[in-house]
Amino acid sequence: MEFRSAEELLSHYDAVRMRLYGPKKPPNMFVAPRQPEEEKAAPEPSKGRREAYPDVEALPPLIINPTIGMPPEDFVKPPKTKIYWSEIVNAVVAETGITREELLGPRRNLKYIKPRHLLWAVAYVVAPHMSVSKIGKLSNRDHTTILWGYKKGMQHPSFEKLKAELLSRLEAVPELEGEGA
């Protein structure tokens, strides 16, 4: 197809665009067209509080309660039912004597690998709310590495001691009266 002039080419482009996309839209569809301004009435003079709210005098006086935001006397603190990652890391750091950065760092010296395996084994056992993938993300490792380290960490001499120490931090959830049976 040949065009004799630029106007024919542009009209052809417009026809194709019309078939493909529909009619042309205004350049900015989100701005509402301006309406002619109507004459605004003069603003009313401001009223005082008593004139604007005539029933203010009928309201009861404000009483400030100093105990708002404080727990009542019979408030029972919920029991601790989870061991968090930071607690596990801190316990392993205290037990093994290496720093947190060394424990979670990239180095693969035996000095760091054994405590890392211990960390993963303890986390896997005492924190059932954390998946293997979550433990891996928190220690910048793949989940399969965590599984391998879990098996090795179970054989660490400090495993049972750390497991018992961390589990002793959990509080027993009290049985509610009237439940069950």
Along the 181 residues of the chain, how does pLDDT read in single tens digits? 788 888 888 888 888 888 888 776 666 555 555 666 666 665 565 655 555 555 556 655 655 555 566 666 666 677 788 899 999 999 999 999 999 999 999 999 999 999 999 999 999 999 999 999 999 999 999 999 999 999 999 999 999 999 999 999 887 666 655 555 4
C-alpha atoms less than 13 angstroms from C-alpha of 30 in its C-beta half-sphere = 0
Q: What are the structural domain ranges in the chain?
A: 85-168
What is the reported pLDDT for 146?
A: 96
CB-based burial, 25-60: b 16+ in 10 Å, e otherwise:
eeeeeeeeeeeeeeeeeeeeeeeeeeeeeeeeeeee
For the domain made up of 85-168, give the CATH fold: Chromosomal Replication Initiator Protein Dnaa; Chain: A; (1.10.1750)
What per-residue confidence (pLDDT) applies to 181?
A: 45
- Predicted confidence at residue 104, as pLDDT, reads 95
Task: Give the pLDDT score at 21.
Answer: 80
